[in-house]
Amino acid sequence: MKKEKIKENIDNVLKETNFKHLGEKKVGKVRDVHIMPDKIILISTDRHSSFDRIIAHVPFKGEVLNLISAFWFENTKDIVKNHVISVPDPSVLIAKKCTPLPIEAIVRGYITGVTSTSLWTHYKDGKRDFGNFILPEGMKKNQKLDEPVFTPSTKFEEHDRTLSPKEIVEEGLMTKEMIEKVEKVAKELFLRGQKIALERGLILVDTKYEFGLDDNGELILIDEIHTPDSSRYWKADSYQARLDQGLEPEYFDKEFLRMWFKDNCDPYKDEVLPVAPPELIAELSRRYIEIYETITGKEFEHDFTQSIQERITKNLENI
């Protein structure tokens, strides 16, 4: 989709939903979740969250994230069962109910990152033993690891903590057998993701998975998978040359919108935020669409004959 078309539809966004017939509603950062007796309705809005608040609404973002997840769920279901019942609308996923596990399963294929919890930050500060794996001396930032590593973190705490599998068992969060199964499945999913991404010219750098248990106590993949909001992607063709030159890899970048807000207000303290320039919103939308088309190999299509709300309402009439 051309950027001009996106600019024409800059206000064509789904900000929230209000379906009375879909049961109890819970509002997440990006998704509205409707809980029914036998299933969950996940509706991906176009909300864009940062600084612990909504900073913008990005056209087509919800559809892109939902459809990318649907693609990956379909292409990994032979590894582990997932919660998908159906995708009745580009913005909607109907899922099985399950009991979520209390950790996020984070898998990393490269030593990178700038946050306090990133692998590179810990390594740069001298850490080598991470509990379930040891990294060698002499590694460079953004270097590929010999094999993917598993760095789970807590999920339901105010401030998430990275824990080793041994610490997860010691704290009584999960059994040894279950965390070992989660690690095995998460790494298999990641390797599948890396393989498919590389065929499309992308490197899947790291990601997070969420798992639950179904009614039979079986492990099931939930939430989302390999979206640009839950994963880091780099462009494969320029990676090695840029690494050799000490440059950062080319990546899917959302940071420019965050930086605009930091330059134009205090996004943590100001009660009302300024409105981001339409050209920045349009560019971010274009990038989401580009990564959807790259990953799935399909052209992104949107029904402009009706509003998003009307379309979803029709597609959920018989739920």
pLDDT along the chain (319 residues), means of 10: 87 93 92 95 96 95 98 98 98 97 97 91 96 97 98 86 95 97 98 98 98 96 96 97 96 92 95 96 96 97 94 93
Please report the pLDDT score of residue 156 as a whole number: 80
- Give the domain 99-213 fold: D-amino Acid Aminotransferase; Chain A, domain 1 (3.30.470)
What CATH number matches the domain at 3-97+279-315, 3.90.170.10, 3.30.200.20, 1.20.120.1200, 3.40.50.10540?
3.30.200.20
The sign of the torsion formed by the CA atoms of 296, 301, 303, 304 equals: positive
Any idea what the Cα angle at residue 118 is, between residues 205 and 177, rounded to 5°?
Answer: 80
Rg (CA), the chain: 20
Structure tokens at 92: 């909607």
Please report the pLDDT score of residue 141 as a whole number: 97
3-class SS of residue 104: strand
Length of the chain: 319
With residue 131 as reference, give the H or E element that holds it: none
Structure tokens at 152: 């789970």
* Residue 243 and residue 140 in contact, taking contact as beta carbons nearer than 8 Å: yes
Q: How far is CA 202 from CA 98, 121, 197, in A?
A: 32, 24, 5
* Residue 316 and residue 22 in contact, taking contact as beta carbons nearer than 8 Å: yes
Alpha-carbon distance of 60 to 46, in angstroms, equals 7
Structure tokens at 290: 């580009």
Q: Which of 82, 96, 89 is nearest to 63 (CA)?
A: 89
Please report the pLDDT score of residue 105 as a whole number: 98
| Pairing of the two strands 231-235 and 202-213 | antiparallel
Q: How far is CA 16 from CA 30, 102, 116, 223, 246, in A?
A: 9, 27, 33, 19, 43
Q: Which of 205, 201, 207 is nearest to 236 (CA)?
A: 201
How far is C-alpha 270 from the geometric centre of its chain's CA atoms? 27
Domain boundaries of the chain, sorted by first residue: 3-97+279-315, 99-213
Please report the pLDDT score of residue 319 as a whole number: 83
3-class SS of residue 234: strand
User: What is the pTM assigned to this prediction?
Assistant: 0.94
Please report the pLDDT score of residue 158 as a whole number: 73
Please report the pLDDT score of residue 116 as a whole number: 83
